[in-house]
Amino acid sequence: MTDTTLSPITSETPSGAPAKSKSLYAIDDLTRKRNAAEKRFKAYGIGAIAIGLFFLVVLAVSIISEGIPAFTKTVVSVDFTLTQEQFDEAEGTLFKTKAYEGIFVNALQGQLEASGVSVPFDNATIERIVGKPGGTIREFFQANPDKLGEPVQFELAASSRVDGYMNGRVTRENMTDSRFLMKADLDLVDKLTESGIIKTVFNWNFITGADSGVDNPGGAGIGASVVGSFFMMLVVLFLALPIGVAASIYLEEFAPQNKLTDLIEVNISNLAAVPSIVFGILGLAVFIQFMHLPQSAPLVGGLVLTLMTLPTIIISTRASLKAVPPSIRDAALGVGASKMQAIFHHVLPLAMPGILTGTIIGLAQALGETAPLLLIGMVGFVARGYPDGVVSGFVDPNSAMPAQIYTWAARADYAFYEKAWGGIIVLLVFLLTMNILAVILRRRFERRW
């Protein structure tokens, strides 16, 4: 195309006549480019969401598949009758629990034979499968002497390897003989399972119990730390919400705009970004070393998490106060409401959904926080005598769910690893509940207006 070829065409068109209009069916280059860019952008977005969903599914599947075994446990259930004579006799011997163990083994053998199975086994095998049952039995009959002579069903927790064998973690191929479990013991386990003596039951203890020692993963539960987390959340809710909302109302509605309030504003925004471990060390220095509040207590944990949550609540509350149209304030002031009446009667109710959402997001953040708790001593521990006394209040030593999970994940026995995953499931259930609560509350408040 050159000017020479173009010129005859232009000369043909009479001067001043409109140029031939373009067809709507032909898509020109610029439009095509624009459409392509739009399509590309949509594809990026869908890709990003797909990747996100994929990882979410992977996470959910792995958490659930790893964590489910924590909710079941393997028990050896034995019907057992101890007569008064056997009790007296056992109490008379030097190794009392050993004597009870002997009686237990006899009872077990009897029960096996009754169901027509005979496998030879000795006390050592039983010890490898259920630990040392003698102590448990003795404690029970000492506490309940009236049960002597009656049949009592004992459900003794199987050892962690037997538990692993039952849920497929330990197999004959991958295990090596050790003082914890021999390959030969598995024959007995199989027979006991067949005759219904060893069975898998739902592990209520995991949900209600406290942490156990490192040698007893079967007895570890997250219940105590759930209580601990609950008390901490109470402290956070009752401190952070009123303080945060009051501070935001003052800053947003009453405070004069000057250098000082600017400085405060900048600092609040900065505080929201401070790593949580810094709050932990602050709590250690101020609440424990300076104010001498008890160590490991939910009260202190709650105070530290309150400091951490406050900026989140203040920022979201201020944003939702700002979002209330100024015409509502004018309307209230115009009919002679005082500034405080205008805020409390009209502005605050309108800002409520936003405030609630911010608060619950802050609480959820606090619920999942581990680092500051490690510094103030709220790590997992063996709570003896749970639930009485130990974890009942704000100042009794306790742990929190994420700290408990961290402690379990750090322990050697594989069974604790399962507990950690199980703990994560419990934690996620709590977070999900809180978020659903937030959505419901939001809906309710929004519907009112």
Calpha distance 33→39 (Å, rounded): 10
* Nearest to another protein of 349, 397 (CB atom): 349
Calpha distance 58→228 (Å, rounded): 30
* Nearest to another protein of 39, 339 (CB atom): 339
How many positions of this chain bind another protein (CB under 8 A)? 21
What three-state secondary structure class fits 442?
Answer: helix
257 binds another protein (CB under 8 A): yes
What three-state secondary structure class fits 213?
Answer: coil
* Nearest to another protein of 149, 334 (CB atom): 334
251 binds another protein (CB under 8 A): no
Angle 185-194/123-130 helices, nearest 10 degrees?
A: 70
The 10 Å CB-count burial string (b at 16+, else e) for 317-352 is bbebbeebeeeebeebeeeebeeeebbeebbbebbb
Residue labelled with tokens 């964590």: 67
345 binds another protein (CB under 8 A): yes
What is the DSSP annotation of 270-318? HHTTS-HHHHHHHHIIIIIIIT-PPTT-HHHHHHHHHHHHHHHHHHHHH
337 binds another protein (CB under 8 A): yes
User: How far is the CA of 440 from the CAs of 125, 389, 433, 443, 445, in angstroms?
Assistant: 55, 36, 10, 5, 9
* Nearest to another protein of 145, 326 (CB atom): 326
Calpha distance 190→172 (Å, rounded): 12
We find the least distance from the C-beta atom of residue 351 to another protein, in angstroms, to be 12
We find the least distance from the C-beta atom of residue 337 to another protein, in angstroms, to be 6
254 binds another protein (CB under 8 A): no
* Nearest to another protein of 94, 335 (CB atom): 335
Contact in structure between 402 and 393 (CB atoms under 8 Å): no
Considering only the stretches 216-224, 283-291, 338-346, 408-416, report the one whose residues sit in contact with another protein under the rule CB under 8 A. Answer: 338-346
C-beta pairs of 245-251 under 8 Å, 24+ apart in sequence: 245/313, 245/317, 245/355, 247/310, 247/314, 248/313, 248/314, 248/317, 248/318, 248/321, 249/317, 249/321, 249/343, 249/348, 251/314, 251/318
16 binds another protein (CB under 8 A): no
Considering only the stretches 120-128, 163-171, 294-302, 343-351, report the one whose residues sit in contact with another protein under the rule CB under 8 A. Answer: 343-351
11 binds another protein (CB under 8 A): no
332 binds another protein (CB under 8 A): yes
13 binds another protein (CB under 8 A): no
By CB under 8 A, the residues from 358 to 397 that bind another protein are none
* Nearest to another protein of 152, 328 (CB atom): 328
350 binds another protein (CB under 8 A): yes
Which of 93, 338, 392, 433 touches another protein (CB under 8 A)? 338
We find the least distance from the C-beta atom of residue 324 to another protein, in angstroms, to be 10
* Nearest to another protein of 213, 334 (CB atom): 334
The 10 Å CB-count burial string (b at 16+, else e) for 33-70 is eeeeeeeeeeeeeeeeeeeeeeeeeeeeeeeeebbebb
Which of 152, 239, 333, 441 touches another protein (CB under 8 A)? 333
262 binds another protein (CB under 8 A): no
* Nearest to another protein of 114, 340 (CB atom): 340
Considering only the stretches 42-50, 105-113, 321-329, 382-390, report the one whose residues sit in contact with another protein under the rule CB under 8 A. Answer: 321-329
Calpha distance 299→377 (Å, rounded): 12
Which of 52, 325, 389, 393 touches another protein (CB under 8 A)? 325
447 binds another protein (CB under 8 A): no
331 binds another protein (CB under 8 A): yes
* Nearest to another protein of 32, 443 (CB atom): 443
Cα dihedral 194/198/202/208 (nearest 10): 180
441 binds another protein (CB under 8 A): no
Which of 149, 213, 334, 389 touches another protein (CB under 8 A)? 334
* Nearest to another protein of 2, 258 (CB atom): 258
Contact in structure between 106 and 79 (CB atoms under 8 Å): no
330 binds another protein (CB under 8 A): yes
Calpha distance 112→58 (Å, rounded): 44
Which of 256, 385, 388, 447 touches another protein (CB under 8 A)? 256
Residue at 11: amino acid letter: S
Residues that bind another protein (CB under 8 A): 256-257, 325, 327-339, 341, 345-346, 350, 449
